Structure 1
Amino acid sequence: MADGDPGRGAGGRRPRENWAWPTSSLLGGLAPAARERLLALGAQVRYPADRVLMRESERTTFVLILLDGVVKATGRTHDGRDALLAVRMGGDLVGEFAGVDGRPRSATVTTCGPVAARSVTRGDFLDCMQRDPRIAHAVNASIVTKLRVANSRRIDFTGCDAATRLARVLHQIALTYGERAGEGAVIRWPITQPELATLSGAAEPTVHKALRRLRETGVVSTGYRTIRVEDLALLSSIAFDAGDADDADDAEDAGDAGAGL
């Protein structure tokens, strides 16, 4: 596409009625008529796992409406590491910041598995919002929610030790993107320990130790490309009821706390 669309992926069209989006997502929260108007934009595309869809600082302005699958947004830190900034899944918008203001991409977006989406040019995206105030309101609300979540995470981490920060990150990911399974939830997309470290504002060895303690106490278990939270209530207790504390881990992490976000 003229504005930098990464191209169509392989595969046939999946019936739209097979998709189900969380009510908290943009698509899930729209009224059916408005949703259909939004989904009529652009062209359907499919991407394989580990495909880079957008690169930080590049000047492309297309917007992706995620239909199915999970992507991660990463950014480069001052010391050259890749920091995991956010995760998006079916029902969410990706790339709307550049779609709205036309400025360079603020993050690199990579698929965490097969992804289906609709790729929309900036012109069509802006025209749709201008013509349909309900869609414009939903997009603006989605952007504000993302900013509020980012701010809340920074505030919640103030004064917490590294283990508590990790528990809060896992709890948020499990509730937002996990598949409920009994008393727990399964996160079925790959998230690495370095990515958990940047989300937690902690050094990687500290996250490794904290994750090991969570496994040993039966709170979480890990498998190939998955993390299973065995007991969400117990993880919530660890994340939010343990109280704020400063410990040796925080001293170790002081130089890294601001690098991940």
Structure 2
Amino acid sequence: MTALLTLDAVDVYYGPFHALRGVSIEVGEGEIVSLLGGNASGKSTTMKTILGLNKAKSGVITFDGADITHRTTTKRIRAGIASVPEARRVFPQMTVDENLYAGAHTRRDRAGIAEDIERMRTYFPRLAERRRQEAGTLSGGEQQMLAFARALMSRPRLICMDEPTMGLSPKLVDQVLDEIARLNSELGIAVLLVEQQAELALSIASRGYVLATGEIAVTGSAAELLDDPRIQEAYLGKSGDR
């Protein structure tokens, strides 16, 4: 599989604190990859570094064969990277449609934007029903759908999703994961899924990486990670004994 995104030995500091230590990960074209780990493991720092919100002290970040290590966030979005941030973070006082238009802020093709708005209404019929409703009045699941749709408005090749199931009921969690898998399958968009809930994340991913204190501790296919005693004990609440 052709690599779309590559982090090669990336180090990130917050002042004197060494937040990421030689992190190397890869996401292939059209692939779902899970980035797992507990609190303060470095998951969100990795996500922000990919988006250009954190600066890499050393190492190289490559997207679609080009070095983007020192590019701005706007240029990374234009290159094809989008994000669905933690806790959704829709614009609560803006309508559903206004949120969608905001997702296309780096684009200038007005006809294409209008076409994509219609496409989002087709992908997410509930959003079409609530197009003039303020986003802050939507349910948690509907806000997550809006966050997905807003990310798609930039026409990305990779979406980075930070804890997309956080705060949702078990039923809505299943719906969100189904939507991620559907969009990946239908649109061929690669997904980097940052999650604490390993079993959920790995249920739709092909591969995964586990971060611990800013370093990659374990990597493997989804099946391998689910069967790894270390993962079972640390993240699935199961004993590693067989």
**Same-fold call, TM > 0.5?**
no
Between structure 1 and structure 2, the one with the greater Rg is 1
User: Shorter-chain TM-score: which interval?
Assistant: under 0.3
Q: TM-score, normalised by structure 2?
A: 0.25
Instruction: Give 1 or 2: higher strand fraction.
Output: 2
Q: TM-score, normalised by structure 1?
A: 0.24
